Structures are given as C-alpha cells and as structure tokens.
Structure 1
Amino acid sequence: MLKVFILCFLLTQILLAASYIPKNIKEEKILESYRDTQLVLGLKATDFDNTIIDNQSLNTIVEDLFKNYLRLNIRVVKGSWDELLSMYSKKEIDILGSITQSEERKENSVFSLPLYDDSIYLATSNIEKYNLKDLKSLKEQDIFVTKDSIYTGYLKKFLRGNDIKVNIIEVEDSFLEKDGIFLTSKYNVVGWENTIKIGYLPDISIGLQKKLNDLTAIVNNALLEKYQGDIAKYLEKQSNVIYKNKFLKSLTQEERRYLENLSQITIALEPNNTLSYYSKDMKKFIGVIPFFIERFSKRTGINFKIVNDRNNNWNNIYNDFLEKKIRVVPLPENKEWSEDIIFTEPIYNPTLYKVSSFFSHNTKIGVVKGSIEESFVQEYYLKDDILFYKDYDELENSLNSYTINAAFLFDINKMDTSKFKVDEFMKIPISLGLYKSDEILKEIINKGIKNGLSIRRIEEEADIVKKQEAFNEYQRFQLTNKILYLLLAISLMFGMISIYKMLLNHKITKELKKDLITSLPNRVEFLNFIDEKKELKGYAIVVDINNFKEINDKYGQSSGDDILRIVADKLKRIFINQNIYRVSGDEFYIFSEEEFLIERLEELKKEMHSLKLSYQVDLSIGFYKNINKDLETAFKYGYMAMEDVKKKNNFYYIEATEDLIKKKEREYSIKSLLRNKNLKGLYGVYQPKFNMKSKEIIGAEVLARWNDESLGFISPGEFIAIAEEINLIHLIDYKIANEGIKFISILKKNNLIDENFRMSFNLSMKSLERDDVVSVIKTLLKENRVSGDYMEIEITESIFSTNLKTTLEKINELKKMNISLSMDDFTAGHSTVSLLPILPLDVVKFDKGILDAIGTKGDLVASNIYMALIGLIKDLNLKIVSEGIETKLQLEFLEKANVDIGQGYIFSKPIEDLNFIKKLTEKNTGS
C-alpha cells in the first residue's frame, strides 16, 4: 500500500511540475551545461510585445519559458528591433525572443517551433490623407519601413507586381510614423480600417545562435507542453482588449451608462440547424451563431445567456420571444414577423438552398416543420403547395419518391445531394431580433458588430468542430463495429471448419469452379482453359461492363448482381456453345472458334439497348483474331483493345490490330518506366518569355521532354496523360521543377539574369493534392540556394476538382516562400474566371485559343473578347502573359492591347539550356 502511495505522489509531482522534466539523460546533461553559463535573451521593447493583459505579455511568457520552466541563467536585454538585431549579429545576444524565419538567417541561427503566424500590412492612422483601398493612390508616396526588416523585401515584391513606384524610407521603428503610410505586422493594426494586406510572413519563432543547436529540441518540447498554448491565449485576449477598447470609444455617454446597468441578456438558439445546434459531446450550443455570440460577448462585455431547452423547435422559440420570455433571437428579416420586432445589422449571410428532383414535375415544395426555413417557403410559395416533414430524413425520402418537387434547407450536407439538383435560392441576412423598447441596446450591438468580427474564421471554426463531432461519432461507430467483427470472426472460425469438411465432397469442389452469381465458369476454369488449349485458334474476346461500380454504389449490390446475370444470359444466348467465363467483378472473357463475330457483336449491342436506357449500362468490347499466338497472349491483346474502347466515345467494340498493339505496348512501357521511377531520359526545355515593349527576355517556362533509350522520343501528349492516369504525374512535375530551379542557379552564378527574372513550371492538380508538395519545392530551393523570388508556379482551373480548402493552404505555404502564382490556360475553361477572386494570383496566362482567331473571319469578335478580358485582369492588378503568339498580326494586336509579357514561336520555340543561354547572351550584348 505504501508503494502505491509513493508512486501516486511521484506521478502527481511530475504532472504538476512547475519546471521542465528532461526526457532523457542527454537532455538533463544539456540543461546542466547551460545552467553554468549566463545566456542573454533579447526582447523587443514594443507595445505589441510588452502590453500586460492578465499579468502577462508576450515578453514575460518567453522570459518565463527560459528562466522558470527551463531554469536557465538568463539576463534579459530589451531594445528596438534594430538594436537587438545588431547585438545578435555581433553574438552579444544568445537568444532572440521572436524573429521571422528566413533562409538568410538560417546561416547563423536555429529556430524553434512557430510561436505565431503573421502577415504584413500597409497602414496609416490618417484616414483623410491617404486612401489605401485604392492602390493607385500609393504612387510616389513615402512609405516608412523599419531598418533592416525582412518586411521590406515583401513590400518591394508587392510593389513590383502591381507596377507601383514609391519612396521607401528606412527608420528605427516604422510604427512611430503611423500618421504617414508605414509597413508593419497585422498585430500592430488590429481593428484599424485604413490598411492593405501585402502578404503572409514566414513563421515567427524563437531564434538561437547556432552554438545553442542542442538546446532547440528542449525549447520545442517546452513550447509544445505549455507555451504555444499560452501565447495563443494571450494573442486572443490582446485582440479582444483592442476591439473592446475601440467598441467602448464608439459609444455615446448615454449608451455607456446603459451598458453599465445592463444585466444578462437572454437569447434563444435553434437546436437542430446548421447555424446553431446542441452538441451532446460538448454539452452546449455550437455553430456559426453560438460562436459569434461567444466571441461578441468577449469583445464587447455584453453578457448573453442561452436559455432555451435543447429540444425546442423554432416555432416554440419564436412564440417565447413574442411573449417576452426571451429578449433576443437570431432572425432573418422577413415581412412575416411581428411589427413589434426591430433588427440589428446582419451578423451572418448564409445561403438558403433549393434541392430539386431531376424527374418530378409536380409543384409541391417540402420543408421541415418548425424550422427557420419554413417562414421563407411560406413567403414565396402557395400554402397548398407546401408539405411539412418532421425531420430532414423524411424530407429526403419524399424527394426520392417524387412526392415533392423541391425542398428548402440551409445545410445541404443533411442530404445526399448527388441525386438531386442543388441551386442557391437566396442569401439570407441573419440579424438579432429585439423588442421595439430595446432601441438603445440595438444601437450598442450595431456598434459592436461594426467593430469587426471575421465571420469567415468563425465559419471555419464551426466547420472544424462539426467535423470533429462527426469523427467522434465515427469512432464510436468503429468501436461498435470492432466488437461485431470480433463476434463475426469467432463465428467465421467455426463456419470455416464446417466448410473445410464440406469441401471434401467432390460435388462441392466442382461447384466452386462456377461463378455463384452468373453460373458461368469462373477465373480458375479460365486459367485451366488457356493452359490446356494453348494453341487453339479463333477469337479472344474481352467484355467489360461500363459504370458497373457506379451502379453498385447508386442502386445497391443486389441490382449489380441482377445486371451481371442479365449480361451473362445475353452472352450465353448470342455466343451459344462458345467458351464464356466471368473472370472478375465486371469482366467476361469469351473464346469463339466461329466466324461472323461482327454480326454477333452487333446483335449484342441491340440486346443491350434496354439495359442502357434503364441503368445507363453499356459494354466495352475488345477482340483479337488469334492465328499464331498462344491463348494467353491473344487474350492480353483483346484486353488491350477493350481498354482502348473505354477511352473512346461512341465506340462499342474494337479489334486489336498490329498498330493498336504497338501503341498499347508502348503505353505499358511508359507506365513501367514511371512506376520504376526510370526517368533518365526526362529533361527540361525552356521557352523564353519576352517583355512586349522592349522585347527583352524577362523569364522562361520550363517544359518537359522525354527521350528514352529504347522508346525514342516520347511526346508530352503521350507521357503526361499516362502519368496522370496512374497518379504519377508528380514524378514529372518535381523533376522538371528541379531542372528549372537548377538552371536558375546557373544563370544567377553567371550574372545572366537580374532579380526580375522568373522561371515558371507547372504543378498539376494531382501534384497539388500531395502532402509533400510544399516540402519538396522548399527542399529543391534550399539545395540549389535559389530564392523563391525567381520562381513562378503555373496551375490550371482543374484545381476546382481538388479539395479547394487544403489546396489553398498549400498554395499559401508556397506563396510564403515568395514564389509567384500564375493561372495557366485562362479562358480555356468555363470555371476559370470564378477562380480569380479565390486564388492569390500574381500572373494570368491567356490561352492561345482566342488569339488564334486574330486575322481570321472571327477577328472582330475575338479582339473584343480578348480586350475585355485584358481589362478584367488589369483591374485586378495582375500581370498578363499571352502565350502561343505565332504571327506578326497577333503580335501587333497584343502590343496595342498593352499586354505585359509574350511567349510563342514568333519569339522562340522551347530550346535546351545551352541555346537559351546563347539567346540570353545575344540579347544582353545586343548582337
């Protein structure tokens, strides 16, 4: 008993320890070695770092980490950033409390894990003197920057990209120049109105001299255990304090007195809606509206209390509000509400969706009874046409059975929308509804709303929590399944013993050679057949059912089994007395010794017509007339032909001709090279990009070419499509990116390019989906000692088919390396324009499709379209590259249209590196 008590006591001491517990003997020795020496910690003497909130500042948190948690012998030095950086460069300071990571600083420093992220802004406190919302107003203005700050490089890139010239003035602390335009961190201008975002910064970390490298892992452990959380909480408190002070300053004397005497405000929330719902796991209301109310309370001091029962429906909540049992209710403005209600400014604008059946043509509209959606449906549709349902499952079933034509709901994730047509019906502004007597309270709340809350961030948080809840539910489901699987495994074990005994029976063994669904001979019998009848001559036919997986997913496995039986019966009837096998899920192999094959295939095509109409099911058939090959090879060639059919539209069957076999074998060889990562013959060529005015080379695009020892030249049209098909396109993208980065390194070393030169390379959709894409590009830049300023990534509208949120996160990580982003093939696809406001683009590259019409009958239309698109892109302050320039007429048109950069055969075709250097040298020497 005493041992148990001692063990519990020791564990409690460890858990509650106020100082760091070394993870091993090595860490203990490292800490002891540093405790014998005094280390100097540099901390910035700025308001941002020194402001005390709840007895803490950023500086005190970092100081506490080293002094109290790691118990090191620390001397603190405070000063301006310029002073600290100078001392750190002279090695008079050992540790910097916060520093922005950069490649240059890595040469002399090691960095901890990130403390927080940051962005750079241009700002001014003098909102009358400057208009930062108009970029053109920046021209020729004075901009103050902190001396030796890495922010300046990002500012120059921003100005260069927007073709703006300013006077950059270096000062000791740019924030002291806040009456003018100054460059600073987002944390210095929280709540400011007159700001413009320049871009993201690399992570802010603790910087240590390289001699302290072995201490870094211990500092990281301390951050993970305690201090990253402390810093995040502090920054949130700091943000709340700033907003609260701004909010209180905006109030009149009457409003301040009212707020001081204001007691708790009761508010009711809908318990089962996408905007707010009750979480059984968290035992509270969550969603966009509850999170807004929570954040709003912290930033204004207005105390809200949620009072409704979690089982209340919307009608009950609204009636309680009318009876003044509740003081505030989130409401969309609607003429149906009582005249005694007044509304605040909108706090959220969710979309009301109309989910319609593809087949029903009646006028009935469905909605969940007691939901907030109900009031809008009643406003826009006749009462006789509205049907009410108790929940969303019942509503979906009614759509499936065509009882109603459409349903209305805010959260389309509540239904399987793949089976329906989804339209955005309208944006619904949600406000807070109050009584008429609460006019002063309404004005106070409006001022709090205007002080600024990022509803997008609140949406993201609500979405994350919702997904976490779904994951927790899934975990519980998985646990239940594991128990069931265990019981099933035990049952199967006993069942297998019985089956083993049954297999001793010859009759059962024979039955196992048949496919259980179609009663056709199965794969085992097929393998026996081609082994025993190797030299048999005739037709080897491979039949594949198109869209079979989708049929199983959409209609269920039993429907899939029915289709297999129907297809098998048709094959048996048409290929009577021939060898027919079901060799896999949706594939049948047939060997026929009889002639008239085409007539039989045409008959089969007619037979499949009804199945095609009912289930959108069709067949892809390949065949090979075997004269001198063994049966295994004959079926291999038939399979090749079947694969080719699946890639072609409006084809039903194809014969494996010699040309097709050669093409497919070449395709298999390319796939083999890719799968074995044998890319020796893959190399980059460079197509110059020219300044349209000066005709000087200002960049290049590195393009992939492949010359293999055995296959010869492989065109990009061949290998890129194949690489995408087998999900290995990233091998090509990464290698060509490496080629381009290496070439930039060579050009820089030989002083052949300046800082405005850009080398672009392509990243496909599938490469962008990979988790390693950011680290690979980062490593390539680091290994070749090339700054991201020289690089440009080209993407296409196919980015829409990715998980756009995670893809944008990766793009933003790449942008943090100063890499430019270009939209390739602009105007080639219908979705491209909608991407422009979403993506952090620097360049738009016009597809040659419209340009090709210049000089033809469609010249006027093409010119007008091109000019309109140029105007659109120029208004967005993006650079334009026109590719595919081939004629003098096209060149003259683009020069008049004020296009920035040109690329095409009129300037140069893609050329190898030595020829590119020669062309670059000729341009530089003027020869």
Structure 2
Amino acid sequence: MGDKHSDLILIIDDNATYRKVLVKILEQENFKTFECKNGYQGIEKALKIQPNLILLDIKMPEINGFETCIEIKKNSAIANIPIIFMTSLDDLEYKIKGLKIGGVDYITKPFQPEEVLYRVKIHLKLVNINKTLSHKNKQLEAEVKARKRAEKKLIKLNKNLEDKVNEKTKHLHQALLELRQREKELAYKAYYDDLTKLPNRSWLNSYLTDLIQEANKKNLSNADVFHSILFIDLDRFKVINDSLGHLIGDQLLVLVAERLIHFSPENSLVSRFGGDEFIILLQDDKCVESVTNTVKLLLQELQKPFIVNNYKLFINASIGVAIHNYQKVDVTNILRDGDVALYQAKKNGKGTYVILDETTRNQALSRLELENDLRKALEEEKLDLYYQPIFCLKNNIIKGFEALIRWNHPQFGFISPQLFVSIAEEIGLINWLNDFVLTKACHQLGIWFSSFRNFPHIFVNVNLSIINLSQSNITEKIDYFLTQKLFPESCLKIEITEGCLEDATSSTFEILNKINDRGINLCIDDFGTGYSSLSRLHSLPIKTLKIDKSFVDKIGTQVSSQTIIKTILALAHSLEMEVVAEGVENKMQKDILTYLGCDFAQGYFYSPPLDVNSATDFLASVFE
C-alpha cells in the first residue's frame, strides 16, 4: 500500500467502468476519491467538496469535458483547481484545445496505472509547490518590509538578510528561465507543424484574429486591409500515401511545403492546415489578376514531379481563393469562404482553381443549409413515401406501386428528389436514405396485406442505388422483412437504374442474384438511357424493364421514339421480361403503348404519386 494521502480527487466520467478503474488505482495509493457521471454533477460536487485535483473525461453527453472545464474556470471558487483531461483521442488539436481552456495535462485511455499515478502525483506536487512558493513569497515580502523599517538599527543583520534574499532570488530567476523556455517549446508545438515546420491551423486562426482586431481597432479603410487566402488541397495524395506508405507521404508533404514557400510571393504566409491541405495568405494583395497569376504558377509548379526515395511522384492540386477585407468579418467566415471556393474547384475537376464570388458563396451556403436540413429530416423521419400506381395496359387494373421518396421542406416546400438524392450520395447519407425507403415501404406493404381481405398480390417497387448494392448486409436487411412474413416475397420488387449496370462489379451481380434467389423480382429503371450490354441483361435475373419517360414523351410525335420502344419491347419479351412504360400522361400514349404490346404503365394519366393515406383510400375503393 502507498503512503497516506490527504489529497481529494474528483473523477468526472460518464463511463462507470472507467470511474471504477480510476478509483481502484487511486485508492491503492490511499487517495480519497469522489465520482460524478456528468459535467453538471461534477461542477456541483467540486463547489461542495473543493477537491485538490479534477480528472475530467472529454467525450460526455449533455456537456462535454471541454465545456465542463470552461464552466469550472468561470467560477472563482473552483477556478484554480487543476484539471487533467482523460481521453482516447490522440489528436494534437484536441490536446491544444484542452490546454488553452485551462487543462494542465492529459491522461490517455485505456488507463495505465503508472501513468495515472505519475501525472496525478506530479500535478498535486505542483499545487503544493505553488502554495509553498506563494506562502514563502508572502513571508519574504514581510521580511523585506521589516528590514526596511529596522534598517538603521539592524545594519549587520541586513547584510545576512540581503544574502538570503539574493540566494532565493537566484533560484526563482532560474526557475523563471526554465518556465519561459518550457513555454516557448509548448508555444512552438501548439502553433507549428512538427513535420513541415510551417505554421499550423491554430497559428493561422490566431494570426487572422489579430488582423481582424487591428483593422477594426484602427478603422482602416478597405483598401488598407485586403488579403487573399488560398486554400490548397493535394489531388492524388491519398493514393500515394496509401500505396507507398506514410513515410513517403510525409516526405512528399515536406517537399510540397518547400515548393509552396519558394514559389509564393515575398509578402505571403504559408501554413499547413492539416492532412494534405495548405493555406497561403497573400497579404495586401486584392488584385484578381495578380492573385490569379500566383495561383496558376503554384498549380504549374505542383504538377512537376517530386523525387522521394527514388520514386518520381506526380500530384495535382485544387485551389480555392477568397479575397477579404478584415472589417466586420470573423475567422470562421474567412476560412469558410476559402473552403467553399476549394470545394467548387474540386467539383470542377482536379488541377483547377476557383476565385470565390458572391453568387458562388450564396449557392454554397444554401447548399450547406440544405445538407444540414436533409440530415435533420432523416434523423427526425420527416421524409415521406409516395406511391405511384402501376396499371396493366390490357385490363386497366392496378398491379402495384412504385415507392417514391419525397421531402416537404418546412421553408422551401417540396424539394426535387433528384436534388436531395444527389446530395445524400455526396455527403454519405444515401444508404441511410435508401434504408429508410426500404423499411417504410415494407412496413406499409405489410399493413395493406393485413387490412384488405381481398388484397391480391399487389407489388411495391423500391429503388436501390449502386451504393446500396455494394453493402455486404443489404440481403440481411431484406431477409429481416421477409422473415416477418408481412407479405409474399414476390410482392417486393427492387428497381436499379440502367446506369448501375455500368458501374457494377462481380460482387454487385452476386448480390443481385441473392436477391432474386429470395423470390424478389428485379427491375431495370430508366431503360434506354444508359449503355447496358445485352450480355449483362441476359446473364442477370432481370424480370422487368421500365422504359424511360423521355421515350414515352415523344411517342406519336417522333417515329424514332416509337421504333425504340418497339425494339425494347421485342428485346424484353424475347428474354421473357415484362415492360413498364413510365411517364404516361395522355390517352394517345396509353393507346399506342397498348397497341405495341407493352405490359404495364404508370404516369399522371392514371394517377400522380399518392401519399400513404390517399394510396390506402385508393386500394380500399378497389378491393373492399
């Protein structure tokens, strides 16, 4: 057992297991501990018990460790209690943030008893040293004052006292020098990138903040405070880093940094923003032509080969440019505009640049707002499924529905599915979106089967993307609904676009075959708009082709469209496939399609997409 300690340690962590481990470690050394499971309890407990040290977890619900630390430092009654953060995060930026808001150290999860005890003891020791130094300083001041009052009477004693003061001063001076040196080292690590030796993100934030404050303080005119900021992202760096290793990647970044410094204007500042992103600040340069020339030169030089360990490496870069004056703006807006310009440059293709203008900025902000709204709508299940009926052309009897996702935005009304589906694909929400559609459609199909006694085998078509078909667990999700036996397997149909076949891999075809093995029919949507080969159509278990609306629109007015439809019908029927015509909007189209031998049709001539209540009422009118 360790020596007896009178120090009190408060542990704030939402994870009971971690708290238990810490208590065990600390109590073996006879430290007295108190536990709290969240930040609010921790603040309240700290005010009550006044601990000597606080161990604070970063990632907690309600109020995280950083926010808890800030609240503690606001309260003068507990502001001086040292805080050691606990985290499994090894990101330097997190550590810097913790130190900047008042933390004194970090303990890494999972806990190592030796590390925990060493850090706890050293900071408790520092607390006691500070208390001792404060006490001794007060004593010293009292002694100096007493010396001055008795200076004439205690000349001999004064010499001895001066010697003591000088000795103590010497030690304090040495301690101060060491402290300043340590502060310099920490400041360098906090504001400079270890790899490239360039200023880092924190330095740039601080520098831009100072520029803004100076401009507003001096009320400089716009002409005096214009700067251009270049956001640079290296294209193909990830390929090199993943294929040749991080050591090669790191050396490449160093060479890129050197080349950026060499070819940047004299009055510019180059920084590494993180990963393979760099930022160059062109000071006092608002001339678009000058900035453009600089950007073109940088792109040209970055395209030249880099020699790393006998490898001849080629990269490109995308550059976003934002030109700002620093009055009435903040760092967030400056960096956001640079990031927006970079996003547009990458969207335009590799090795390009974009100088941000007001139109692009507004479009990007609107797009970002829409992305956030879509994420929120998915989280809160504010999206709806509409169901468009599919009719048999021979007898005009409904045979099924196509499930269509719709988003009624609270501000903008109905958003085009093409727009928000493409957004979902870009920001990684497409799996979530398609899972939502599959779940809702299967659930509703089950409700209809249980609600209508005379309900025939009406099918519901659900659209899946190539991304969904790349999921290894997509068949498991389908199996979940089939095992519930809410409806016969044949009543669920999966639609994929013809374009999916172009991007499909062998694993995609394997998944399609597994889906077919479960009795679920597969449909090719928008047929005729892509480039699927006949061999793929023949080898895949496709049961239905859906003729794209663009051909149906021109039927009766363009002979070529009618010929194409006739060809598709002949092809499909020869392969024993059914055909659905999409976008049928008038009787003439319906009659021609019937004459040509098309099997099914959907479109506004029959019915627009219906919300679930209207679709249910429609079924009730037919089958009850």
After TM superposition, the score normalised by the length of structure 1 is 0.41
SS in 2 for 1:637: helix
2:281 aligned with 1:581: no
- Structure 2: distance between partners of 1:656 and 1:555: 38
State the shift of 1:685 in Å.
Answer: 0.3
Overall identity of the aligned pairs, in %: 26
Is the CA contact 1:575–1:600 (under 8 Å) kept in the aligned structure 2? no
SS in 1 for 2:366: helix
Match of 2:559 among 860, 873, 892: 860
Match of 1:639 among 339, 343, 351: 339
Change (3 A) 1:507 1:759: closer
Q: Please, which moves more after superposition, 564-573 or 634-643?
A: 564-573
Which residue pairs with 1:545 in the alignment? 234
SS in 2 for 1:885: coil
State the shift of 1:783 in Å.
Answer: 4.3
> Within 5 A, what are the aligned runs for 1:101-500?
none
Change (3 A) 1:661 1:768: closer
- Structure 2: distance between partners of 1:864 and 1:698: 26
SS in 2 for 1:842: strand
State the shift of 1:848 in Å.
Answer: 2.6
- Structure 2: distance between partners of 1:529 and 1:577: 15
Which residue pairs with 2:612 in the alignment? 913
Q: Which amino acid aligns with 1:869?
A: I
Change (3 A) 1:888 1:659: farther
Q: Which amino acid aligns with 1:578?
A: S
Which residue pairs with 1:844 in the alignment? 545
Describe the superposition over 1:636-662 as per-residue Cα deviations: whole angstroms up to 9, x where unpaired: 232123223322359620416352243
2:328 aligned with 1:625: no
Q: Which amino acid aligns with 1:718?
A: L
2:213 aligned with 1:523: no
Q: Which amino acid aligns with 1:665?
A: L
Q: Which amino acid aligns with 2:276?
A: D
Which residue pairs with 1:699 in the alignment? 400
- Structure 2: distance between partners of 1:695 and 1:504: 84
Which residue pairs with 1:719 in the alignment? 420
Match of 2:475 among 771, 774, 782: 774
Is the CA contact 2:402–2:462 (under 8 Å) kept in the aligned structure 1? yes
Which residue pairs with 1:673 in the alignment? 376
State the shift of 1:567 in Å.
Answer: 7.2
Which residue pairs with 2:523 in the alignment? 822
- Structure 2: distance between partners of 1:612 and 1:555: 19
Is the CA contact 1:696–1:923 (under 8 Å) kept in the aligned structure 2? no
- Structure 2: distance between partners of 1:787 and 1:511: 64
State the shift of 1:679 in Å.
Answer: 3.7
Match of 2:598 among 899, 907, 926: 899
Q: Which amino acid aligns with 2:274?
A: S
SS in 1 for 2:538: coil
Instruction: Give unmatched runs, 5+ long, in structure 2.
Output: 1-180, 216-224, 306-313
Change (3 A) 1:814 1:509: same
- Structure 2: distance between partners of 1:648 and 1:834: 35
Q: Which amino acid aligns with 1:795?
A: I
Is the CA contact 1:741–1:784 (under 8 Å) kept in the aligned structure 2? no
Which residue pairs with 1:16 in the alignment? none
Change (3 A) 1:914 1:882: same
Which residue pairs with 2:568 in the alignment? 869
- Structure 2: distance between partners of 1:605 and 1:532: 25
Describe the superposition over 1:286-332 as per-residue Cα deviations: whole angstroms up to 9, x where unpaired: xxxxxxxxxxxxxxxxxxxxxxxxxxxxxxxxxxxxxxxxxxxxxxx
Match of 1:596 among 260, 263, 286: 286
- Structure 1: distance between partners of 2:290 and 2:254: 19
SS in 2 for 1:907: coil
SS in 2 for 1:837: helix
Is the CA contact 2:441–2:460 (under 8 Å) kept in the aligned structure 1? yes
Is the CA contact 1:521–1:581 (under 8 Å) kept in the aligned structure 2? yes
- Structure 2: distance between partners of 1:624 and 1:910: 47
- Structure 2: distance between partners of 1:624 and 1:712: 35
State the shift of 1:874 in Å.
Answer: 0.8
- Structure 1: distance between partners of 2:615 and 2:295: 56
Describe the superposition over 1:643-688 as per-residue Cα deviations: whole angstroms up to 9, x where unpaired: 23322359620416352243243144146437xx514201100111
State the shift of 1:704 in Å.
Answer: 0.8
Change (3 A) 1:897 1:654: farther
Change (3 A) 1:923 1:877: same
SS in 1 for 2:272: strand
SS in 2 for 1:830: coil
Change (3 A) 1:609 1:889: farther
State the shift of 1:689 in Å.
Answer: 0.8
SS in 1 for 2:267: coil
State the shift of 1:815 in Å.
Answer: 3.0
Describe the superposition over 1:601-655 as per-residue Cα deviations: whole angstroms up to 9, x where unpaired: 4213532347558747242314253542211332023212322332235962041
SS in 2 for 1:867: helix
Describe the superposition over 1:514-555 as per-residue Cα deviations: whole angstroms up to 9, x where unpaired: 556655323342243245445456444422233332355678
Is the CA contact 1:882–1:901 (under 8 Å) kept in the aligned structure 2? yes
Change (3 A) 1:905 1:671: closer
Instruction: Give unmatched runs, 5+ long, in structure 1.
Output: 1-502
Q: Which amino acid aligns with 1:862?
A: S
State the shift of 1:739 in Å.
Answer: 2.1
Change (3 A) 1:829 1:921: same
Is the CA contact 2:457–2:491 (under 8 Å) kept in the aligned structure 1? yes
State the shift of 1:798 in Å.
Answer: 5.3
- Structure 1: distance between partners of 2:369 and 2:427: 15
Match of 1:660 among 363, 374, 377: 363
Count of matched residue positions in the alignment of Structure 1 and Structure 2: 419
Which residue pairs with 2:47 in the alignment? none
After TM superposition, the score normalised by the length of structure 2 is 0.59
- Structure 2: distance between partners of 1:511 and 1:588: 18
> Within 5 A, what are the aligned runs for 1:680-829?
680-709=381-410, 713-751=414-452, 754-783=455-484, 785-797=486-498, 799-800=500-501, 804-829=505-530
Q: Which amino acid aligns with 2:339?
A: Y
- Structure 2: distance between partners of 1:834 and 1:753: 41
Is the CA contact 1:760–1:791 (under 8 Å) kept in the aligned structure 2? yes
Is the CA contact 2:449–2:486 (under 8 Å) kept in the aligned structure 1? no
Is the CA contact 2:544–2:579 (under 8 Å) kept in the aligned structure 1? yes
State the shift of 1:869 in Å.
Answer: 2.3
Which residue pairs with 1:29 in the alignment? none
Change (3 A) 1:767 1:564: same
State the shift of 1:878 in Å.
Answer: 0.8
- Structure 2: distance between partners of 1:899 and 1:870: 7
Describe the superposition over 1:827-874 as per-residue Cα deviations: whole angstroms up to 9, x where unpaired: 222235442123212112222333344355xx2333323322221111
